[in-house]
Amino acid sequence: MPAPVCQDKSYTFKDMTGITSKEKYLGDPTKTDWVMDGHAVPYKNSLLLTMAPSTVGTVLATSRYLWYGNVKARFKTGRGKGVVTAFILLSDVKDEIDYEYVGVDLKTAQTNYYYQGITNCKSPSTYPSAFNPILTPTRQRRR
Cα separations (Å) of 83 from 104, 110, 140? 8, 13, 29
Respond yes or no: is residue 23 known to be catalytic: no
Q: Which of 77, 100, 127, 131 is catalytic?
A: 100
Q: Which long-range contacts (CB under 8 A, 24 or more apart) does 39-43 make?
A: 40/16, 42/13, 42/14, 42/15, 42/16
Radius of gyration of the chain (CA): 16
Q: Which of 13, 96, 97, 137 is catalytic?
A: 96
Active-site positions?
96, 100
